[in-house]
Structure 1
Amino acid sequence: MKQGMEIGQTASFSFYVTSDMFAQFEGEVVHEAYATVSMVYHMEWAARQLILPYLEEHEEGIGGSVKVRHLAPTTKGTKVTVKATLTTLKDNIVTAKTEAWNEKGLIGSGEVIQLILPKKQIADKINASL
């Protein structure tokens, strides 16, 4: 891992909720609102933005844990901003606090833990599970 990653660093992005982000199972929409699974994806993506500049060519980040609280619904066309803040860096373990907001306020909060490992080690573990 390259030097320079520091506690307090942030990454964020915004988007508008689309129908493919709705709560659905097996292609059937349950609620016409931003799904928890979409929120998890966006929180993981924000946290990944924290590590990308610091990965060496032979390294990759892999998910270790995700905790999310979905606090409020958000409908199609609503702007959402997701932010990740680096809270802990211990050896190769990176922890980020995550939050999502719409124009009315906080809609979700959580934590994403990533491990930075050699690509070969990840590939070996995947191949061993086949």
Structure 2
Amino acid sequence: MKAGMQVGQTATFNCEVTSEMFAQFEGAIVHPVYSTVSMVYHMELTSRKLILPYLEEHEEGMGSAVSLKHIAPATDRNRIQVTATISKLEKNLVFTEVQTFNETRIIGKGTVVQIILPKDEITRKIENCRT
């Protein structure tokens, strides 16, 4: 990992809620609101933005853990902002605190942990899953 990553660094992601982000199962919309699945995805995406500038050519990040509380709904066309802040660096683990907002309030908060590994080690782990 390249030098320079520090606790307190932040990244953001902005989007607008669309019907593809609605809570749904097996193609059927359950609620026409921003789904927890979409929130997890956006939290991981935003946290990933923090590690990308520091990855060496032979490295990649992998999600290791996600914990979140979905506090309030966001409806169609609500603007969403996700902010991730590095809260802890421990060897090759990067911990982020993440918050998700709509235009008026916080709608989710949680943590994302990523592990930085050599690409060849990741390839071996994936191959081991196939046997």
Shift of 1:104: 1.5
- Distance in 2 (CA, whole Å) between partners of 1:13 and 1:43 is 9
- Distance in 2 (CA, whole Å) between partners of 1:129 and 1:41 is 23
1:92 alignment partner in structure 2: 92
2:12 alignment partner in structure 1: 12
Identical pairs, percent: 54
2:56 alignment partner in structure 1: 56
What aligned pairs does 1:1-130 form with structure 2 within 5 A after superposition? Answer: 1-130=1-130
- What secondary structure sits across from 1:129 in the alignment? helix
TM-score by length of 1: 0.99
Structure 1: which 5+ runs fail to align? none
- Distance in 1 (CA, whole Å) between partners of 2:46 and 2:31 is 25
Moved over 3 A (4+): none
Deviations 1:70-116 (A, max 9, x none): 00000010001000000000110000000000111100000000000
Structure 2: which 5+ runs fail to align? none
Shift of 1:129: 1.1
- In structure 1, give the amino acid aligned to 2:29: V
- Distance in 2 (CA, whole Å) between partners of 1:77 and 1:128 is 43
